[in-house]
Each structure stands twice: as structure tokens, then as C-alpha cells.
Amino acid sequence: MTRPIAFSGNTLDRDERHRKDEAYLATSLQEDKTRILPVWKLAPLVREGDEKRLAWATPAILDGHGGPDPVFLGVADGRAHFAVDISAHGEPLKEFGWEGAASFPDLRATVGLLPPGDGGIAAQARHIVDWHSRHGFCPGCGEKTRPKDGGWARICTACSSEHFPRTDPVVIMLVTDGERCLLGRQPGWPKPMVSALAGFVEGGESLEEAVRREVREEAGIQVGAIRYVTSQPWPFPASLMIGCEAEAVSRRIQIDPSELESADWFSKDEVRAALEAPTQRLGVPPPIAIAHHLIRAWVGK
């Protein structure tokens, strides 16, 4: 089986029915079989050792927990799974006795070492824990909000308006003219790394319009046909990467220096070689990035 793209492939049943069942959620949080994923400063707990995987705790870690409510992630093997933000703890590894057995490594650096299903769960947990940490107050009236529906909504304690976790769509497109593709480098990226162009979809804009606008603004290239290829959750903090291939109908590059340091056309042969090892002119993004997969699909590898 092909490994799913990083951060996709979540193996939990998100089980929307049970989110609204307060009795089920309360009972689950009393049961030893329930699995709790501790998240500290937005990093999920990962088991140390040769085979890294998410490290699950039991509801016992919630005894005396004064922090945010656990969020219901879903169900697998008849067991409820939650994530809980334990960032209020100064030294959680020491306090919970996890030292040597588990740690909170940087998720971007670790996701490629986790089993694919765990990467998807880590994305879900990071995304929703981050959302709660930044939405304690109502954007309508300024009063406090509290979580509901197992953590998949918040409701204002004063005006009762409901707020839902947001996902921010980003288009990322490999622009090609058939035999060559357009890759660019943002200021600050290590040389010779380049990638597909990307940008946030704006309000009132279709995906096709966002692709055409971003490519025109960043590189001065006009785009014709656009084809959706694949997508990727990117929980830093809340993006959904929508991967496309876009057909160039003009060739002359004119970069916007505030967005790109450079951009150029690269042949299939050059790109194939760079997938093996970076060349002096060209380094492609690592497999964790959706751009890697768009590039690989285009060269037919």
C-alpha cells in the first residue's frame, strides 16, 4: 500500500454522533480503556525508541487537571480517543514520569517517522488544540466562550453565539508548460531549495481563481487549464493544502520580490535528478511536503 501523504490517513472514526452525547463523553473519560493524547505546546507526546508512535495516556492524567477540557478525537477499537492540552505544566515529562519513555518532539521533524495513521491523528490533535487555545473569547461580544460538542465548537457564555474550528485553504500549484515546470524560492529558504508556488485562498474566490491570481502575482505567468491532484492537512496552524497542476499560457517570468527571491523553469530531467539528490541549481522539497508529491507525479516517478 502506498504511504498516505504526511498528516493524512487518520485511522480514527471521528464519530460526530458521539461528540454531542455528553453522557458518552463523560463516561468515556472515566474508563481506563480510553486513550488520551497529551499535547504540550502544540506537540503531541511521542514514544521514544526505534519505532516511534504516538504515546497515549489513560484518563488518570486528568486528575487535578486544571487546563483546557479534553477534545474528543474519535473512536477506534471500541475505545474513545481524546487529546488534552497540558501546556500549563512546566515539566510534564518529569511530572508524569514519562522521562526516557516519551517526549514532545517537533511534529514537522517527526511525522515522517510515525506510522501513517498516527500522523493524521497528530494533525487533528494539533489543529484543534491550537484552535481552542486562541478562541477563549467571543468575536461578537468579547465575553468568554466555552467548548461544546466534545470540543468541536465553542459557545459564548453571554450571547450564546456558536463558533467552529476554521480550516484555511491554501492552493499549491505546479505550473508547467508541458516539458518544464515553474519552481520558485521564497526569501530565507536554504539554497538551492525551490518549490511549487502557493498562497491562501481569499474570501469570495474559487480555487481556480486563487491559482490564477497567485501565479500571476508571484511570477507574472498567465495560467490556463487547472487540474486538482491531491490535498494535505497542514496543521501549522490550520491549513489545508490543495495541490493542483496548472498549465502555463505565457512563459516570461516576472517575480514579485516581496513574495519570491527567484523563480525559474526546470526540465523534467533536471527535476528527476534533483529528486535523487540536490543539484547545484535545484533542490526539491522533502517527502513531508505536498509539493514533493506534485513534482514526483509530474515527472512520472
Residue 36 engages Zn ion in binding (rule: CB under 5 A) = no
Among 49, 97, 136, 140, binds Zn ion (CB under 5 A): 140
Of the two residues 137 and 189, which places its CB atom closer to Zn ion in the complex?
137
Residue 159 engages Zn ion in binding (rule: CB under 5 A) = yes
Question: What's the start-to-end Cα distance of the chain, in Å?
Answer: 16
Of the two residues 97 and 139, which places its CB atom closer to Zn ion in the complex?
139
Helix ranges, the chain (H)? 16-19, 22-28, 92-95, 107-110, 116-133, 207-219, 268-276, 290-299
Among 62, 73, 125, 156, binds Zn ion (CB under 5 A): 156
Considering only 127-135, 150-158, 224-232, 241-249, which stretch makes contact with Zn ion by CB under 5 A? 150-158
d(CA 137, CA 95): 30
Considering only 84-92, 157-165, 230-238, 243-251, which stretch makes contact with Zn ion by CB under 5 A? 157-165
Residue 51 C-alpha from the chain's centroid: 22
Considering only 58-66, 111-119, 130-138, 277-285, which stretch makes contact with Zn ion by CB under 5 A? 130-138
State which of positions 55-74 bind Zn ion (CB under 5 A). none
Cell of 101: 519513555
Considering only 104-112, 138-146, 225-233, 252-260, which stretch makes contact with Zn ion by CB under 5 A? 138-146
d(CA 65, CA 163): 25
d(CA 248, CA 229): 16
44 in Cβ contact with 126 (< 8 Å): yes
CB 30 to Zn ion: min, Å: 32
Judged by the rule CB under 5 A, the positions of this chain that interact with Zn ion are 138, 140-141, 156, 158-159
